[in-house]
């Protein structure tokens, strides 16, 4: 009976007239719900955007890959070559042989950092030139947008070809098509060597920064050449200069990607990889990154973040609901005579309940709609002004709107029932005395 009364067009119109009669009070009452809903949507949008970028960054690493990277230990081994001391550390061919014998290891990608200085005409660029095995593009989630990737024929012929990152192409060839053009790589050990560009990577954007994807490397600044070409022309010794200082490092492999199948075996294999590499090793000259483990941690952090944000915003809605109940209780006190007259003329208690409850529903629903619009607008402003990615979750919009309507029912029910259970005679007598 109450639900049918709530759907009455007459009572709905009466509720709107009562709210229009006190426009400012109605607006101030709805502000708590408006800001509460807006806060829910805006904060969830920021959280979803940040989580999506983090997950995208981790997924770029490959959920079935284990990433090994050479790092210089505090006291790296030095070997003498002529009059120059060379620091020797990192992943080696022996490590690759041991890793290839592990169970569930499907493929291994080897990488070597050989140079940093790139030249085309009068333009120069500081990137990273990496020798890679031809299975790199199959194992690592990097897409070639134009041209082709490196293939086994390039490896066999030790071809002077390369695939370049998006930023390299944009900087060195701002007005030209880079495909089939020549890029010169300069190094202190081998001088200047030209390479023909056969492929260009698509731009990768993750975590608010361009392509911090492959083990914190900005792949937009990378140049990839066949590993056999790197062996022939550079070897495993890389020489760098900083002012008058000259430093030589011997690192056979700067990175190794271990591809595991099936995915369920990634975590146990990663622990086995660490034990195998630690065996008979004097220094900790490598790191192990497991994207699947990072992905699981990020998803757990995302759920925790959503709960925290939802709780904070829920408190705002709770405060808004308390404001609605307070104003409606004041409204019941002001309209005691009206209630007494309606009850004396035959109105039932559910009529009075519906009359006041519909006002709180209108306030909370309109506040919810305005709050949704405000929250979406704030999320867009954050994206535009702070250059943060925001994603407005549909479930968040639906949930916040549903909660705002629920707030209207829960916090409006007590004042409505308080009005309905007023004694008609006492209500009229109270008003007469007040008069």
Higher per-residue pLDDT: 374 or 244: 374
- Domain assignment of residue 82, yes or no: yes
Confirm whether 366 is domain-assigned: yes
Number of domains in the chain: 2
Which range marks the domain in which residue 330 is found? 2-57+298-434
| Two tokens, residue 98 | 């041991």
pLDDT band at 172 (very low <50, low <70, confident <90, very high): very high
| Domain assignment present for 271 | no
Model pLDDT, residue 213? 41
pLDDT band at 130 (very low <50, low <70, confident <90, very high): very high
Mean pLDDT to the nearest integer, 407-419: 78
Question: Does residue 245 lie in a domain region?
Answer: yes
Q: Is the pLDDT of residue 427 over 70?
A: no
Residue with tokens 């920064």: 209
Partnered with residue 187 across adjacent β-strands are 191
* Residue 311 pLDDT grade (very low, low, confident, very high; cuts 50, 70, 90): confident
pLDDT at 433: 42
Question: Residue range 51-67: average pLDDT?
Answer: 76
Which range among 69-83, 138-152, 341-355 has the greatest average pLDDT?
138-152
Is 269 inside any structural domain? no
Q: Give domain status of residue 284, yes or no.
A: no
- The lowest-confidence range among 45-49, 236-240, 315-319 is 315-319
Say whether pLDDT at 77 is over 70.
no
Give the pLDDT mean for 178-187: 92
CB 393 within 8 A of CB 45: yes
160 and 187 part of one domain: yes
Q: What is the pLDDT of residue 157?
A: 93
Q: Please, what sign has the CA dihedral across residues 217, 222, 224, 225? A: negative
Percentages helix, strand, coil for the chain, rounded to the nearest 5? 55, 25, 20
User: What is the Cα 354 distance to its own chain's centre?
Assistant: 45
Q: Are residues 135 and 156 in the same domain?
A: yes
pLDDT of residue 216: 53
Q: pLDDT tens for residues 189-225?
A: 788 999 999 999 988 764 334 333 444 567 889 999 9
Strands 84-88 and 245-250: parallel
pTM of the model: 0.66
CA dihedral 292, 296, 299, 304 (to 10 degrees): -150
Q: Is the dihedral of CA 341, 345, 349, 355 positive or negative?
A: negative
Cα(370)–Cα(171) distance, integer angstroms: 46
Higher-scoring residue by pLDDT: 13, 239: 239
* Average confidence score pLDDT of the chain: 81
Structure confidence at residue 78 (pLDDT): 58
Decide if 150 contacts 161 (C-beta within 8 A). yes
Is 278 within the bounds of a domain? no
pLDDT at 404 over 60: yes
pLDDT score recorded for residue 159:
94
pLDDT band with cut points at 50, 70 and 90 for residue 31: confident
293 within domain boundaries: no
Per-residue pLDDT at 233 exceeds 80: yes
Give yes or no: residues 33 and 78 share one domain.
no
Question: What burial letters (b/e) apply to 275-291, b meaning 16+ CB within 10 Å?
Answer: eebeeeeeeebbebbbb
């Amino acid at each position: 009976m109450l639900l049918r009364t709530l759907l009455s067009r007459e009572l709905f119109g009466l509720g709107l007239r009562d709210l229009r009669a006190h426009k400012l009070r109605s607006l101030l009452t709805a502000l708590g719900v408006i800001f509460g809903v807006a806060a829910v949507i805006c904060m969830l949008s920021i959280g979803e955007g940040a989580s999506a970028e983090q997950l995208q960054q981790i997924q770029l690493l490959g959920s079935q890959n284990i990433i090994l990277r050479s790092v210089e230990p505090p006291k790296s081994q030095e070997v003498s070559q002529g009059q120059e001391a060379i620091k020797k550390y990192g992943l080696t061919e022996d490590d690759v042989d041991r890793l290839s014998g592990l169970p569930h290891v499907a493929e291994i990608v080897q990488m070597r950092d050989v140079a940093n200085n790139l030249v085309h005409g009068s333009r120069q660029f500081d990137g990273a030139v990496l020798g890679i095995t031809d299975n790199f593009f199959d194992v690592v989630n990097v897409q070639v947008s134009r041209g082709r990737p490196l293939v086994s024929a390039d490896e066999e012929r030790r071809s002077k070809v390369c695939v370049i990152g998006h930023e390299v192409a944009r900087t060195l060839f701002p007005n030209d098509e880079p495909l089939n053009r020549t890029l010169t790589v300069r190094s202190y050990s081998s001088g200047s060597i030209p390479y023909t560009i056969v492929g260009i990577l698509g731009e990768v954007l993750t975590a608010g920064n361009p392509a911090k994807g492959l083990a914190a490397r900005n792949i937009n600044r990378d140049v990839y050449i066949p590993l056999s070409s790197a062996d022939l022309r550079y070897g495993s010794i890389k020489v760098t200069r900083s002012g008058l200082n000259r430093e030589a490092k011997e690192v056979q492999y700067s990175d190794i990607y271990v591809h595991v199948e099936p995915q369920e075996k990634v975590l146990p294999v990663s622990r086995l990889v660490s034990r195998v590499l630690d065996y008979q090793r004097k220094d900790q000259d490598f790191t192990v990154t497991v994207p699947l483990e990072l992905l699981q941690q990020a998803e757990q952090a995302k759920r925790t973040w959503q709960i925290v944000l939802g709780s904070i915003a829920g408190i705002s809605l709770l405060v808004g609901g308390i404001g609605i109940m307070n104003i409606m209780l004041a409204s019941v006190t002001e309209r005691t005579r009206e209630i007494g007259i309606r009850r004396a003329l035959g109105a039932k208690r559910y009529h009075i309940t519906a009359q006041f409850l519909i006002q709180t529903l209108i306030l909370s629903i309109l506040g919810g709609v305005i709050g949704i619009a405000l929250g979406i607008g704030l999320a867009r402003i954050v994206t535009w002004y702070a250059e943060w990615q925001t994603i407005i979750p549909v479930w968040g919009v639906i949930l916040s709107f549903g909660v705002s309507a629920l707030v209207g029912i829960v916090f409006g029910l007590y004042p409505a029932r308080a009005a309905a259970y007023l004694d008609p005679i006492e209500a009229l007598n109270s008003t007469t005395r007040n008069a």
